[in-house]
Structure formats: C-alpha cells, structure tokens
Amino acid sequence: MSQSRSYSNFPVKVTIEIKGTGDVHDVVDRLVKLYGDANDQGRFSCRLLLPRGDIKTTQLSKKIGIAIQTGLLLGLRKNKLKPNIKEVRYVHDEYHYGWVLANPLVHEEFESSK
C-alpha cells in the first residue's frame, strides 16, 4: 500500500477543507481549540485538505500551510499549551494535498495497525 493511500485512511477526529488564504484564521482558531480539548487525553488528530492543481495552486497551498503552521504554534503558545504534534503531508487525491496533524500516540497506533 502506498504512503498516500494509507494516510488518506488515517483516523482523525475532524477533516477541514481549506479553499484559500481567507480560511487560515478560522482554521487556526479551530485547531487550537481542538488541540486544547483533545490533547490532554492524547487524542488530538485532524486532517487538513489543501487545494492541489496547477503550479499556482500548489504555491498557494504552500503559503496556506506555512501560515497555518505559524499560526497554530503561536496560538498554542498564547494558550500555554505545549505542542506535541506529529505531522504527515501527502497527496490525498487529484484535487487535494492532505496534511495529518496528530498526537504521536494516535500516529503510533495507526502505524502499528497497518
């Protein structure tokens, strides 16, 4: 089984589709809240779907990814939360890049179940 196919089946609590840079702030706020609620139990997991297509779309996805990563780390620090996230980026399907963010325990369970 290929890496991308297996990660498209990664069990997550929520999947968020991001269409453009205007979604970044809301996505970051949602991720910080999800992390704060779920990580105490070691259960944080989510999938972000970013646009995939031509070169321009790929460049946009890279910018969105950097903005989300920076915003998430700042949001966690502001809320005095310690980041404990393993991330995997992969090609989800023809129209999306996938980005799985999960507690390392969730990731280990997935890897051992393959």
**CATH code of 40's domain:** 3.30.110
pLDDT per position as a tens digit, 32-56: 999 999 877 888 999 999 999 999 9
Give the pLDDT of residue 2.
46
Q: Quick check: is 9 in a domain?
A: yes
pLDDT above 50 for 17: yes
Quick one: tokens of 68? 């989300």
Spatial separation of the C-alpha atoms in residues 4 and 79, rounded to whole Å: 33
CA distance linking residue 96 with residue 114, whole number of Å: 23
Counted domains in the chain: 1
Residue 33's identity, in one-letter code, is K
Domain that holds residue 99: 3-107
Determine the Cα–Cα distance for residues 17 and 68; give it in Å rounded to an integer: 13
Q: Tens of pLDDT along 25-37?
A: 999 999 999 999 9
Residue 114 lies in a domain: no
Residue 112 lies in a domain: no
Average pLDDT over residues 71-79: 96
- What is the band of 4 on the pLDDT scale with cuts at 50, 70, 90? very low
Q: Please state at what angle helix 24-38 crosses helix 55-78, rounded to 10 degrees.
A: 50
Q: Is residue 59 part of a domain?
A: yes
